[in-house]
Structure 1
Amino acid sequence: MKAIVIQTYGGPEGLAVVDLLAPVAAAGQVVVATEAVGVGGVDTVIRSGALAAYGFKEGHIPGSEVAGTVTAVGDGVDASWIGRRVWAFTGTGGGYVEQALAPVEEIVPLPVNLSAVDAVTLGSSGVVAHFGLRHAHFAPGETVLVRGAAGSIGIMAVQLAARGGAAAVAVTTSSAERGEHLRRLGATHVLDRSGDGGEPAPDGYDVIIDVAAGKDMPSFFDRLNPNGRMVAVGAVAGQPPADFGMKIMAAFQKSMSFATFSAHTVTGADRGAVRSEQFAAASRGEVETVVHEVLPLDAAVLAHQKMDAGEVFGRIVLTP
């Protein structure tokens, strides 16, 4: 089968197409013939080599979510899964392939009228947005800022906050065109990447969902209202400055708080339940999946070039 591996860490050109033996499901696993593979921001971070210290080695297959049809199951897995269309989480890698392995507890059946492309656009990002807002104790009537709203997580956070009754949903993004699209999805205020803009915006926010992190994170923490909560759900712009903790302590008298969130800290059963609900909502047209572009699997280099250039609004999907 075809697979994409990281031959050398660094730029997108370090990705290569290789031929591998088809996988065999071990106990508790399924094999999924992939119809769609989601390209995530973490894939580009891993490819860059920034996470090499965490055990990612050259030869790693990137990608963590696929959708397709179960073709085989391992010992202990109900054979009735064979032939069913599913979304699957492959772990910290192993997704950029024609046939993927996944634990049976990490697959979710797809509604008949939900495409594989839409499934990988929503599957991981929707869960992160949902639980990120919960982690921030978001409540109806509060003001929300989504920083880095052009990616699939930010897009879902905007929609969920708006549907959840936010008094205002401000977003940061890089262009007026993206801003108008985000308004259609529920944003009430569109700001530039610095958090400013040509329109009036809330003076402060009760909740900030930050997908970007990076050197500018402290300036956004300053925008929290008293008792405001900032939750970092990603770090596509890199790590915050080393003195960010001093900024948090300086806000002691305002009872503002900062937290991080990773979907791995939520039980698989809870993640699966939310995914099922969101897939059903998307199939009914209640949640919009935003697909930037669909590319063939062997165009992974181009996909990562677009990601690195900041050109992507929504999700790039690879199709074997």
Structure 2
Amino acid sequence: MKAVSIREFGRPEGLAVIDLPAPVPAAGEVLVAIEAIGVGGVDTAIRSGVLAAYGFKEGHIPGGEVAGTVSAVGDGVDASWKGRRVWGFTGTGGGYVEQAAVPVTEILPLPGNLSATDAVTLGSAGVVAHFGLGHARFAPGETVLIRGAAGSIGIMAVQLAARGGAAAVAVTTSSADRGRRLRKLGATHVLDRSGDGGDDAPVGYDVIIDVVAGEHLPSFFGRLNPNGRMVVVGAVAGQPPADFGTNMMAMFQRSLSFATFSAATVTAADRDTARAEHFAAAGRGEIEAVVHELLPLDQAVLAHRKMDAGEVFGRIVLRP
């Protein structure tokens, strides 16, 4: 089968199409004939080499979520899975392939009215957005700012905050066109990347969901209301300054809270419950899966170029 691996850390051109033997599902696994592969920010971070310290090595196959049809099952797996359409989580890699062996505990059946493309657009992003808002103790009637709203996580956070009864959903993004599209998804105020603009935007926010992090993260502390909560759910711009906590300590009397959130801290059962709800809502037309572009698997280099250039609104999906 065809696969894409990281031949060399660094630029997208370090990705290479290779041939691998088709996998055989081990005990407790299913074999998925893949129809769609989600391209995520963590894929580009791994490919760039910035996460090498976490054990990633050249030769790694990126890709954390796939969707397709179960073609075979391993020992101990209910044979009724065979032939069913599923979403699957391949962990920190292994998804840029034509077929993948996935633990049966990491698959979820797809509703008949949900495409494989939409499934990999919503699957992981929706879980991060849902539980990120929960980690921030978001409640109806509160004001929310989504920093970095044009990616798949930010888009889901906008939709879920709006559906959850937010009094206002402000977003930071890079262009007026993206702002218009985010308004259609539930945003009420559009700001530039620095958090400025939008003369009628709230002065402060009860909750900030930050997908970006990076050097400008500390400047957003001052945009929190007293007792406000900031939760960082991604770091597409890298790490914040080493002394970023100094900004929060300077606002000690405002009782601000800062936290990070990873979906790895949520039980598999809870993740599946939330994911199934999002899939069902999307099937009913209540949540939109925003797909930037569909590309063949062998054009993974192009997909990563677009990601690095900041051109993507929503999610790029690869198809074998």
Range of TM-score over shorter length: over 0.9
What residue number does 1:138 align with?
Answer: 138
For residue 58 of structure 1, report the CA deviation from its aligned partner. Answer: 0.3
Map 1:1-320 to 2 at 5 A: 1-320=1-320
User: Would you say the 8 A contact 2:4–2:17 is kept in 1?
Assistant: yes
| In structure 2, distance between residues paired with 1:49 and 1:129 | 26
User: Would you say the 8 A contact 1:94–1:101 is kept in 2?
Assistant: no
| In structure 2, distance between residues paired with 1:158 and 1:9 | 33
For residue 235 of structure 1, report the CA deviation from its aligned partner. Answer: 0.1
| In structure 1, distance between residues paired with 2:80 and 2:55 | 35
Fraction of identical pairs, as percent: 81
Q: Secondary structure at the match of 1:59?
A: coil
For residue 198 of structure 1, report the CA deviation from its aligned partner. Answer: 4.5
| In structure 2, distance between residues paired with 1:241 and 1:303 | 29
Amino acid at match of 2:27: A
Amino acid at match of 1:167: A
Q: C-alpha offsets along residues 242-278 of structure 1, whole Å, 9 cap, x if unaligned?
A: 0012222222211100000000100001001111111
Runs (5+) with no aligned partner, structure 2? none
Q: C-alpha offsets along residues 160-186 of structure 1, whole Å, 9 cap, x if unaligned?
A: 000000000000000000000000000
User: Would you say the 8 A contact 1:189–1:199 is kept in 2?
Assistant: no
For residue 206 of structure 1, report the CA deviation from its aligned partner. Answer: 0.2
For residue 199 of structure 1, report the CA deviation from its aligned partner. Answer: 2.9
Cα RMSD (Å): 0.7
TM superposition score normalised by structure 1 = 0.99
Q: Number of aligned residue pairs: give it.
A: 320
| In structure 1, distance between residues paired with 2:31 and 2:37 | 14
| In structure 2, distance between residues paired with 1:244 and 1:305 | 30
Q: Secondary structure at the match of 1:9?
A: coil
User: Would you say the 8 A contact 2:189–2:198 is kept in 1?
Assistant: no
User: Would you say the 8 A contact 1:91–1:102 is kept in 2?
Assistant: no
Q: Secondary structure at the match of 1:68?
A: strand
Q: Secondary structure at the match of 2:66?
A: strand
User: Would you say the 8 A contact 2:278–2:287 is kept in 1?
Assistant: yes
Amino acid at match of 2:177: E
Amino acid at match of 1:298: D
User: Would you say the 8 A contact 1:138–1:207 is kept in 2?
Assistant: yes
Amino acid at match of 1:55: G
Amino acid at match of 1:312: V
Q: Secondary structure at the match of 2:247?
A: helix
Amino acid at match of 1:270: D
| In structure 2, distance between residues paired with 1:261 and 1:6 | 27
| In structure 2, distance between residues paired with 1:80 and 1:309 | 43
| In structure 2, distance between residues paired with 1:204 and 1:304 | 35
User: Would you say the 8 A contact 1:282–1:289 is kept in 2?
Assistant: yes
| In structure 2, distance between residues paired with 1:224 and 1:105 | 39
| In structure 1, distance between residues paired with 2:90 and 2:101 | 6
TM superposition score normalised by structure 2 = 0.99
| In structure 2, distance between residues paired with 1:234 and 1:168 | 22
User: Would you say the 8 A contact 2:294–2:319 is kept in 1?
Assistant: yes
